[in-house]
Structure 1
Amino acid sequence: MKFTIIAEDGMARRAVLKINGKRLDTPAFVPVATLASVRGLDVRDLREMGVQAVISNTYHLHMKPGDELIRQYGGIHRFMNYDGIVMTDSGGFQAFSLGFGMEHGVGKIADNIFLEGLKSAEYRGERWAFVDDDGVTFRDPLYSRKARFTPEISMRIQSNLGSDIIFAFDECTSPLSNYDYTKKALERTHKWALRCLEAYDRKQKIFGIVQGGEYRDLREKSARFINSLPFDGFGIGGSLGKSKRDMLNILEWVIPLLDREKPVHLLGIGGVEDIFEGVERGVDTFDCVTPTRWARRGVLFVSPFSGGNRRNKFRVHIKRSEFRLDDRPLDEWCDCFVCQNHSRAYLRHLFKANELTFFRLASYHNVYFMVKLMREIRESIVLGRFFELKKTWLGA
């Protein structure tokens, strides 16, 4: 793997990551292909959009169809017929989402990423994941079976998948986890990082994950420890605090402590505002399920040139009656297939009629929107105009 920085504008940087004959221009948004598929799209769509990398889910692929099957098939690239870069997470996020995430009623997607987006943090349900010092036990009724993940098992599964970039197995903590628990989880994550480095497939490149919740001393301790190890890049994960300001603080604490010559990935974050703020602080790549998840709910991304702003989170709900006779394209700035060929009125009709065509068109637009935004961000960094572009999108 080679990571080459081409231009910088403050901490924001334009770079190129090359691995196994494949190229990723950064900053980049990496669509989530949970089960070796970006929901609603196929690999032809991804190629048309210029998607250079996707990230798949180690836990879910292990449970269905099984990493051993994918290995026998020839690896995830051949399995999904995708010739771009494939990243895989470690399964550590599911330790949270199926564990304390279910018990605490908090997540890392949609509008409940931070506690400020919750009406309450009430108990929501029984946990399906149980963490101990050696690993995580999953009792998942969705798949009607149990699973056991340890650092070594995660490395073996990711080797079977044959992804290009893998992540170390970690414990992703809840925003409701207190200092003492977060500290214990951090110590566990650091021990697991060492075990991952012993066990991972050397044909793959491995990123270490910085944890520590919202606590500065723990985040800085983790950044220094992970940076001291021979990882090929870094992920910033776990609970990112109770507000957007907390998340920005974490990035400001952590990134200056990491090797500037290695790529930094912000796990599970991909809102328009978050991307600008993350790039400004030195993040190279982002992943998030929101483009396709929101699309399935009828929520579509729009730029400032078509009414998008911080208040509406750069999105509109197409079901609204104001779009019933609206013959304009969804977004004047976007030049995707959907915006070039279909009106807001038609998209509203498809959504209201529950037509399957809507889910593909909406997903296509939302993913393309993010790809184009990242392209403009990269160009602005090269021209030394990143902060000008940020102001255009986010305001003063």
Structure 2
Amino acid sequence: MSRYTYRLIASDGMARRSELTTAHGLVKTPAFMPVGTQGTVKAMYTDQVRATGADVVLGNTYHLMLRPGAERVARLGGLHRFMNWPHTILTDSGGFQVMSLAQLRKLDETGVKFRSHLDGSEHVLTPERSIEIQGLLGADIQMQLDECIRLPASEDEVARAMRLSLAWAERSKAAFAAMGGPEKGQGLHGIVQGGDVKSLRIESARELAAMDFGGYSIGGLAVGEPQDVMLDMLETTLPELPETKPRYLMGVGTPEDIVESVARGVDMFDCVLPTRAGRHGLAYTRFGKINLKNARHADDPRPLDETSNCPAARDYSRAYLHHLVKAGEALSMMLLTWNNLAYYQSLMAGMREAISAGTFAGFREETLAGWARGDIAPHVP
């Protein structure tokens, strides 16, 4: 059984290229993890997801515990077999969804009691139960249970949630060891909290580093604060985390956010943005965003990007994609999601190559400039 290990391959400034080894394969970083909330990346087959270059997908503990149930998934051979994804899977702890989706929740130091948003049934999620569920799913990379609060919030409230998350981190780590996670080649991440308060971010990072987790996640960002605040918190937090462990920025984000975060030393990302945007007629490309709902595309025979390796970007005209979007056809969601995930993976591959070549600063500047220019050559019939 492979151990959960991190190996730094190259660095360029603060940007890092590395390899993360799990029981189900190698994850090349910087890595973007498509979100498969309920055991599926929406509008995509798993082999398509893999073909875009993805090494890892994310599953959601809260949704999977409610439907179809972690115990059922375990009886059926685990999440890898259940969703036909034989590669690495990361699961979140379920805490964020409990805070944002669940009804009538009650939180204290033991955990959180809540009612399902699906049927109103009552559940209790503790650090131990969260780790048990993730173990039943068979996740290669697991998260401690934490409390994530939205910003802005008072410093007292941020401090309370951060210190509760630290206490839950210790309990999560003990439960992970008791369930034999390390022996199964699985890894557990501690989650840095602290909102937009630098001293609290530093305290959280230092306490978690002392607990010696397999990796470290930065939570509680991209929850309403401006980008400059997020980047400031990264610059505060990352120097306090071990250089020999992976760093995962949770729930981020836009291509711009990802490039700027890699420049500051982040390794891993996840976000629903590329799949959600694809289902709503928005394409991500090297030219920036292209809104296929816009009538200007109705007579445009060009593909989204003729240089792309992705058939969705290369082989279908903007006019056809516009037609599919306006007609409400499911194929529009499938093609645009495919395009978006392929673009995100090509962006990650480009950053990995640039870091190894020592040209990341130029890559960053050129990429940001390309998005700023946009698609500057509109079709002229």
Say yes or no: TM over 0.5. Answer: yes
Alignment-derived partner of residue 371 in structure 1: 345
Instruction: Return the offset for 1:130.
Output: 3.1
- Which of the residues 44, 47, 60 maps onto 2:50? 47
1:135 partnered with 2:117: no
One-letter amino acid matched to 2:332: F
Cα distance in 2 between the residues matched to 1:193 and 1:19? 21
Instruction: Return the offset for 1:92.
Output: 1.4
| Superposed CA offset, 1:292-327 (max 9, x none) | 1111111111213xxx2xxxxxx1210101000001
Alignment-derived partner of residue 274 in structure 1: 257
Alignment-derived partner of residue 112 in structure 1: none
One-letter amino acid matched to 1:335: N
One-letter amino acid matched to 2:269: F
Aligned pairs for 1:1-396 (under 5 A) are 1-98=4-101, 128-200=104-176, 201=179, 202=181, 203=184, 204-240=186-222, 242-304=225-287, 308=288, 315-395=289-369
One-letter amino acid matched to 2:262: V
Distance 1:46 1:242, change over 3 A: closer
| Superposed CA offset, 1:210-242 (max 9, x none) | 000000010000000011112100000014562
Work out whether residues 303 and 333 of structure 1, in 8 Å CA contact, stay in contact via their aligned partners in 2: no
SS at match of 2:90: strand
Work out whether residues 15 and 264 of structure 2, in 8 Å CA contact, stay in contact via their aligned partners in 1: yes
| Superposed CA offset, 1:47-106 (max 9, x none) | 22221100100000000000000000111101111111000000111133237xxxxxxx
Instruction: Return the offset for 1:128.
Output: 4.4
Work out whether residues 95 and 172 of structure 1, in 8 Å CA contact, stay in contact via their aligned partners in 2: no
TM-score normalised by length of structure 1: 0.88
Which moved further from structure 2: 238-247 or 355-364? 238-247
SS at match of 1:228: helix
Work out whether residues 192 and 208 of structure 2, in 8 Å CA contact, stay in contact via their aligned partners in 1: yes
Which moved further from structure 2: 353-362 or 256-265? 353-362
Alignment-derived partner of residue 117 in structure 1: none
Distance 1:128 1:274, change over 3 A: farther
One-letter amino acid matched to 1:220: I
Alignment-derived partner of residue 111 in structure 1: none
Cα distance in 2 between the residues matched to 1:366 and 1:260? 31
Q: Please, which runs of 5 or more residues in structure 1 have no aligned partner?
A: 100-126, 309-314
Instruction: Return the offset for 1:27.
Output: 0.2
Cα distance in 2 between the residues matched to 1:361 and 1:275? 23
Distance 1:339 1:63, change over 3 A: same
Cα distance in 2 between the residues matched to 1:352 and 1:128? 39
Cα distance in 1 between the residues matched to 2:187 and 2:101? 27
Instruction: Return the offset for 1:334.
Output: 2.7
Instruction: Return the offset for 1:335.
Output: 2.5
Instruction: Return the offset for 1:21.
Output: 4.8
Cα distance in 2 between the residues matched to 1:356 and 1:276? 31
Q: Please, which runs of 5 or more residues in structure 2 have no aligned partner?
A: 373-381
Work out whether residues 172 and 239 of structure 1, in 8 Å CA contact, stay in contact via their aligned partners in 2: no
Identical columns (%): 41
Work out whether residues 135 and 149 of structure 1, in 8 Å CA contact, stay in contact via their aligned partners in 2: yes
Cα distance in 2 between the residues matched to 1:53 and 1:18? 11
Cα distance in 2 between the residues matched to 1:71 and 1:54? 18
Distance 1:221 1:374, change over 3 A: same
C-alpha root-mean-square deviation of aligned residues, in Å?
A: 1.4
Distance 1:239 1:7, change over 3 A: closer
TM-score normalised by length of structure 2: 0.92
Work out whether residues 251 and 278 of structure 1, in 8 Å CA contact, stay in contact via their aligned partners in 2: yes
Distance 1:170 1:365, change over 3 A: same
Cα distance in 2 between the residues matched to 1:282 and 1:57? 25
Work out whether residues 19 and 164 of structure 1, in 8 Å CA contact, stay in contact via their aligned partners in 2: yes
SS at match of 1:51: coil
The alignment covers a number of residue pairs equal to: 360
Instruction: Return the offset for 1:345.
Output: 0.3
One-letter amino acid matched to 1:3: Y
